[in-house]
Amino acid sequence: MVSGNTLAEIAALIGDVARANILSALMDGRALTASELAWHSGVSPQTTSGHLAKLSEANLIAMTRQGRHRYYRLASPEVAQAIEALMSVASFGPKRHRPLGPKDEALRNARTCYDHLAGRLGIAVADALTEKNYIVLSESAGAVTNEGQRFLCDLGIDLQERRGHHRALCRTCLDWSERRPHLAGRLGAALCARMFELGWVERIKDSRALAVTPTGKSGLEEFFGITEQSS
Amino acid sequence: MVSGNTLAEIAALIGDVARANILSALMDGRALTASELAWHSGVSPQTTSGHLAKLSEANLIAMTRQGRHRYYRLASPEVAQAIEALMSVASFGPKRHRPLGPKDEALRNARTCYDHLAGRLGIAVADALTEKNYIVLSESAGAVTNEGQRFLCDLGIDLQERRGHHRALCRTCLDWSERRPHLAGRLGAALCARMFELGWVERIKDSRALAVTPTGKSGLEEFFGITEQSS
DNA sequence: AGGACGTTTCGGCCGTCGCCGAAGCGTTCC
DNA sequence: GGAACGCTTCGGCGACGGCCGAAACGTCCT
């Protein structure tokens, strides 16, 4: 046992169906209790507990106690990024697509990816900001323009760096369903958080999928010029 | 059962020590024969063959026959990115560092990451280009300036898009040893390739590590203002 | 043709790990 | 205090999958 965490060890942790389900469930950035995760994982609470212990041990997830509950969340944006990258690879392949039900359709339409927007909505937002010259996505990268700063400020978005945590302002993240980059980084997180605050989007029960509210619809049209991105 | 299935499958493939060794060996972007990979993987040729079949089946690697040899390579930059992201997560952790030998030190100094430069050299190049305003890395993203275009042209670097393959011009990639972004994308690949052409860097035997040649030393100083980045 | 070499296929062994039932520990509520 | 609840630990079962030896297939060389 020379090295602490090796590539194979980390990948093996993600490479179990139950644990992959757990991590997928945590990909929306929220913290969930052990029981909720047991539900998502598809195995018994005892087994889930074992999985959670292993994931914690390897620092893929972090835990905070709260009364008799234990809340688990992804340990860092890096973990989310690795999982997203794997999902991206996973959805390649010449495999036949499984028939996609309404749930899948909702996911493709709009969802959270760790702490930012993804799916068609995420893409539309990135496109709109680019279109209006608020951000410049030089290929898969991004910077916020001065007009962009103002616009975001008008929207009530604060891009101040959080304590210590050096986190990129504007990253892009390859969308596994759309195969195009959407906005991540502090900007992506702030946009997503603000849309929740404004009541533009709501979580769909038991899912990473999002629903755009009527308020959201008009807001997206007014501020972003996004009319309709649903299927 | 949403996307968890395939996520777990892919991760499980990477999550075996022998296969992880194979993929790591291929991370330098070259194509290797089955026997060479057997050597890297640490298991017998028969077993390696089985692993290679599984990796091919899942489209993580691709194969081309050449005489009685079969050359395997990573199937796509996306695969490389996913592995790099996993490595990044893997090297986190509060675990004690293993004592790093001279080989490890060489890797940290300069190496290839799929098809571009990484390690201290990769970081130094990214820093130098930023310093001289040839590229703008707005946080973790990047664009090439007009002066940059000229500079790269002078160096003999052609950034024309390859056939069909939409690939980002200037991506960044988190360096697992330095914890800072280095240049990836077409730009990173072109820079790396050109340095090989010019004889600035050479591969160290049986390793992803690179050695900077005397020519390279003066070239790096003249064109990039990089004096010494070795330990 | 024969032999060396690179690679794959087959068969069987064995360890690892995921799984659940039962039980234990800590917290909350009545 | 006692009961319900949330979560974890323990023990034992079962199976999936990685491993190698032996052998087959294809290619190249002389």
Structural element, H or E, at residue A103: helix A102-109
What is the pLDDT averaged over residues A55-79?
93
Question: Smallest CA–C1' separation from A68: which nucleotide?
Answer: C27
* Predicted pLDDT at B97: 46
What pLDDT does residue A40 have?
94
Whole-number pLDDT of residue B177: 73
Given this model, what pLDDT does residue A162 score?
61
pLDDT score at A165: 53
Q: How far apart are CA B1 and CA B8, in angstroms?
A: 12
Q: What is the per-residue pLDDT for B102?
A: 65
Residues on chain B touching A141 (C-beta within 8 angstroms):
137-138, 140-143, 168, 170-172
Answer yes or no: is B18 CB < 7 A from strand D: yes
**What pLDDT is recorded for position B43?**
96
Checking if the pLDDT of A12 tops 60, the result is yes
Read off the tokens for B224.
């990039």
CA dihedral angle for residue A212, residue A216, residue A218, residue A221, rounded to 10 degrees: -80
Instruction: Choose between B91 and B68: higher pLDDT.
Output: B68
Q: Report the mean per-residue pLDDT for chain B.
A: 83
Q: Is A11 helix (H, G, I), strand (E, B) or coil?
A: helix
Least confident of A179-183, B31-35, B145-149: A179-183
Q: Which three-class secondary structure state does DSSP give residue A187? A: helix
- Our measurement of the distance from residue B125's CA atom to the centroid of its chain's CA atoms, rounded to an integer in Å, reads 15
Provide the token pair at A138.
């030089």
pLDDT at A104: 75
Residues A140 and B185: their CA atoms lie apart, in Å, by 9
Question: Is residue B148 less than 8 Å (CB to CB) from chain A?
Answer: no
For residues B6-10, give the mean pLDDT: 94
Angle at B88 between CA B83 and CA B92, to 5 degrees: 140
Of B19, B88, B138, the CB nearest to A142: B138
Is the predicted pLDDT of residue B227 greater than 70, yes or no?
Answer: yes
Chain A contact for B95, CB < 8 A?
yes
Structural contact between residues B175 and B119, judged by C-beta atoms closer than 8 angstroms: yes
Ordered by start, the domain boundaries in chain B are: 4-75, 79-224
In angstroms, the CA B27 to CA A63 distance is 33
pLDDT at B84 over 80: yes
What residue type is assigned to position B36 of the chain?
A: E
Alpha helices in B58-184, H assignment, sequence order: 77-90, 102-109, 119-131, 146-154
Bigger pLDDT: A224 or A145? A224
Facing A82 at nearest CB: one of B5, B79, B89: B89
Assigned CATH for B4-75:
1.10.10.10
B184-223 pLDDT, tens digit each: 878 888 899 899 999 999 988 777 888 999 999 999 999 9
**What was the pLDDT predicted at B95?**
44
CATH value of A7-75 in 1.10.10.10, 3.10.105.10, 1.20.140.150, 3.40.50.10130 = 1.10.10.10
Tokens in use for A60? 């893929």
Which of A2, A79, A140 has the CB atom closest to B89's CB atom? A79
The answer to whether residue A203 scores a pLDDT higher than 70 is: yes
The CA-based angle B122-B126-B132, given to 5 degrees, is 145
The band of B179, judged by pLDDT with boundaries at 50, 70 and 90, is low
Q: Which residues pair with B116 in a beta bridge?
A: B113
Q: Higher-confidence residue: A17 or A187?
A: A17
Beta-bridged to residue B212, according to DSSP, are B201
pLDDT tens track for B159-177: 766 655 556 677 777 677 7
Min mean pLDDT across B13-17, B69-73, B108-112 is at B108-112
The stretch B138-156 carries a mean pLDDT of 78
Looking at the complex, does the CB of residue A60 fall below 8 Å from at least one CB of chain B? yes
Binned at pLDDT 50, 70 and 90, residue A102 comes out as: low
Q: Which tens digit of pLDDT belongs to each residue from A20-61?
A: 999 999 998 889 999 999 999 999 999 999 999 999 999 999
